[in-house]
Copies of this chain bind each other. A is one copy, B any other.
Amino acid sequence: MKSAGIIVEYNPFHNGHEFHIQETRRQSQADVLIAVMSGNFLQRGEPALVSKWSRTKMALHAGVDIVIELPYAFAVQKAETFAHGAVFLLNALKCSSICFGSERGELLPFIQTHHFLHQYTEQYNDWINTYMKKGLSYPSALNNAFQKLNPTEDAVDLSKPNNILGFHYLNAANHINKQIKFMTIKRKSADYHDEYFKDSTIASATAIRKSLQQNSSLEAVKSFIPDTTWMELNNYKENFGQFHHWEDYWPYLQFRLLTMESDELHSIYEVEEGLENRLLKAARQANSFLAFMELIKTKRYTWTRLQRICTHILNNCKKVDMKNTRKDPNYIRLLGMNELGRLYLNHVKKELPLPLVSKVSAFPREMLQRDLIASSVYAHGLPEPKKSEFLNLEFKQPPIYFRSNHISNR
């Protein structure tokens, strides 16, 4: 059985993601499609709109055969670490190919850019340092350094988030397994950061989230997401009363900051020298997460990076914790599968280099500690009694199982 991998967040799932799944199947000719998905906190340093369980159902409904979790230690990270964790896990599950979305949908520029930067590593790093010293954020420094090397015209545009991720997937595979075959599909119309709807069926997840935040009704997003996703969002709202937004976690972030001294804050992952006092002062002044972010932002730190720092503070994620867990993922957390996925896992089970975790209680808690904490924190976005219900879910919830293979044919 041949499998293909995709790397996703599904926040929430939309028609563009469905196209990605269909194209991956078509291009890879794989029997089985495996998605590695961020858990309850995402790469951009924010809580997912709905839980990983709900997003797993969306994925299975849309035809993914197996969904595994990208652990917190790799999900809430810059592109390089995120990519490493995701490619590592897909490789562990024996995926022979990985398909990602990009701006132009051509793989060759990625390969050329990869080789090009490999050739000029030293100059590249020098320029990055130069730009960082000038006070630029890391992503801006990367992009500016790249431009300084005078890449050919058909090089990848490394200012686009999807391209940056794709570039790092190739890079990661170069270290992990050079045999992995890459494919890329062109993103359909909507730009990653688009906040408004431009097309009638394709919108960015950002625009969908914005609409869900602004409208109490889910009708406005109906045409941009599969029916099964729409129903899942409705179920979630009915069951838990709300979606998850940073603002719901603000009181806890503020509480945490106001009970820390600066040396403890400095022990939190990614909190660099000099940022502590800025964070502590803003925590006292701000009365919302947005107000807090506005107070702490600078040219040096991207919004995304600051959000990740806030997520680490909220999750009490320390530098020392990350040192211990960061190198490679050491477990595969199964979130969901259909019948085909189950057969595939039975087939490869004996060759898996990592333990496959389907029941949390059967594994030493330390191994999963970061993800368990993330799940507890995530529950705090809900009021009681839903919070309590949610808190126990992580220990009781078996992987979602779809008996049949729902390949969506909308």
Interface residues in chain A, defined as those with a beta carbon under 8 Å from any beta carbon in chain B: 251-252, 254-256, 258-261, 264, 284, 287-288, 314-316, 369, 373, 376-377, 380, 384-385, 387-388, 391-392
Contact = CB atoms under 8 A, between A and B. Distances in A.
A380 B258 CA distance: 10
A16 to B, nearest CB: 35
A90 B391 CA distance: 48
Contacts of A252: 251-252, 255
Contact of A315 (B259, B264, B384): B259
A287 B385 contact: yes
Contacts of A316: 259-260, 264
Contacts of A384: 287-288
A255 B378 CA distance: 10
Contact of A255 (B255, B261, B264, B287): B255
A91 to B, nearest CB: 30
A316 B387 CA distance: 23
Contact of A284 (B251, B314, B315, B392): B392
A373 B258 contact: yes
Contact of A388 (B264, B287, B369, B376): B287
A330 B38 CA distance: 50
Q: Which of A251, A264, A377 has the most CB of B within 10 A?
A: A251
A259 B385 contact: no
Nearest to A380: B255
Looking at chain A's contact residues, the main secondary structure is: helix
Contact of A369 (B256, B261, B287, B392): B261
A194 B377 CA distance: 39
Contacts of A369: 261
Nearest to A318: B264
A226 B271 CA distance: 51
A316 B261 CA distance: 10
A284 B380 contact: no
A403 to B, nearest CB: 32
A373 B255 contact: no
A42 to B, nearest CB: 18
A314 B260 CA distance: 11
Given A261-B369, A316-B259, A380 B251 contact: yes
Top 5 nearest A-B pairs (CB, nearest first) are: A258-B376, A259-B316, A287-B388, A252-B255, A255-B380
Contacts of A258: 373, 376-377, 391
Contacts of A260: 316
A259 B376 contact: yes
A264 B316 CA distance: 11
Q: Which of A314, A384, A392 has the most CB of B within 10 A?
A: A384
A105 B239 CA distance: 60
16 contacts: A251-B380, A252-B252, A254-B380, A255-B256, A255-B380, A258-B376, A259-B316, A259-B373, A259-B376, A260-B316, A264-B316, A284-B376, A284-B391, A284-B392, A287-B385, A287-B387
Nearest to A252: B255
Q: Which of A252, A255, A256, A288 has the most CB of B within 10 A?
A: A255
A315 B261 CA distance: 11
A261 to B, nearest CB: 7
Contacts of A380: 251, 254-255
Given A251-B387, A258-B377, A259-B316, 4 more contacts: A251-B252, A252-B252, A258-B391, A287-B385
